[in-house]
Amino acid sequence: MLGKSSIPCTVLASVLLQFIGSCSAYPIILEAVHHDRTCIDVNIGDGDDAHLLFLPLPEDVTDELEDWYTTEFAEMTRAESKHFLKDIETPPADIMKKTKQYRTHSKVTCTLQEDDERQSTKTQTLKYFTPTMMQHISKNSKGWNMNRGNYRLCFTARGSADVRILFDMIKISEYQEKMKKKHIVKKDHLTPLEETFDETAALAKAVIDEMHYMEKREIRMKKTADGTNARIRWFSYVSIAVLMGVTWLQINYLKGYFKKKKVL
């Protein structure tokens, strides 16, 4: 899909995501082109689950509004924040006044589809300046399957203008333990040894999830390559058959032509 070797890009993306996960990162900003379909792939580790959060903004939104809503949206996805998985706080008077100037309604539809399934898993309509959350998108089934945990997230903008979409994904495994310990702080929880152990366990789980993802990706690429090779092989057979048929017709036509001209 990338046109080059996908393994280095995947490893680089994994390292980048681990670096972002250790920081207070801002959400991803996607561009949904009007009258078009914009899609991204989402992967969830085995036995894990996730929430997806969205907040659409008009294409011509001012920098002040974009900065304010981006900051508030980032607070919704930060486990240490008091607005974690809650609605954004009431905007100040000046922000509210500028927000009301955009009277157009968002015509963006978000569709979540599991890999190798034709029907959509979830579909939601997004509204401007309003955060929307898809909860528990995984089936939470145990065991491993090559098609489990791979999702395609597509945005369709039906209006006359492009739409900016703030997007973030919250993995339950990464935040569940933090939420459990949020109100329980003991001295032994703050020891450097336990902090190091927790970091090591988190990195080990990230490595295992990445290995499973690479295995699933390799299987999907092999299926795609086998299907392409099979179609090329049958196309070659059909081409040879058509060529032989055309050759036979040409030979018969030339024989008949020369017989009429009494050359043969």
pLDDT in tens, the chain (264 residues): 333 444 444 444 444 444 444 444 568 888 888 778 888 888 777 677 788 889 888 888 888 888 899 888 888 888 777 777 788 888 888 888 888 887 666 778 888 887 666 655 788 888 888 888 888 877 644 444 555 667 888 888 887 788 888 888 888 777 766 555 554 555 555 577 777 787 888 888 888 888 887 888 888 888 889 989 999 999 999 999 999 999 999 999 988 888 887 776
pLDDT at 24: 46
Q: State pTM to two decimals.
A: 0.57
In DSSP notation, the chain reads --SS-HHHHHHHHHHHHHHHHTTTPPPEEEEE-BTEEEEEEEE--TT--EEEEEEEEETT--HHHHHHHHHHHHHHT-TTSTTTTSPPPPPPHHHHHHHHT--PPP-EEEEEEETT-SS-SEEEEE-TT--EEE---S----S--TTTTEEEEEEEE-SSS-EEEEEEEEEHHHHHHHHHTTT---GGGG-HHHHHHHHHHHHHHHHHHHHHHHHHHHHHHHHHHHHHHHHHHHHHHHHHHHHHHHHHHHHHHHHHHHHHTT--
The answer to whether 136 touches 51, Cβ cutoff 8 Å, is: yes
Residue type, 198: D
CA–CA–CA angle 97, 53, 158 (5° rounding): 70
Which residue in the block uniquely carries the two structure tokens 């090779």? 229
User: What is the rounded CA–CA span in Å between residue 192 and residue 196?
Assistant: 6
pLDDT tens track for 92-123: 888 888 888 876 667 788 888 876 666 557 88
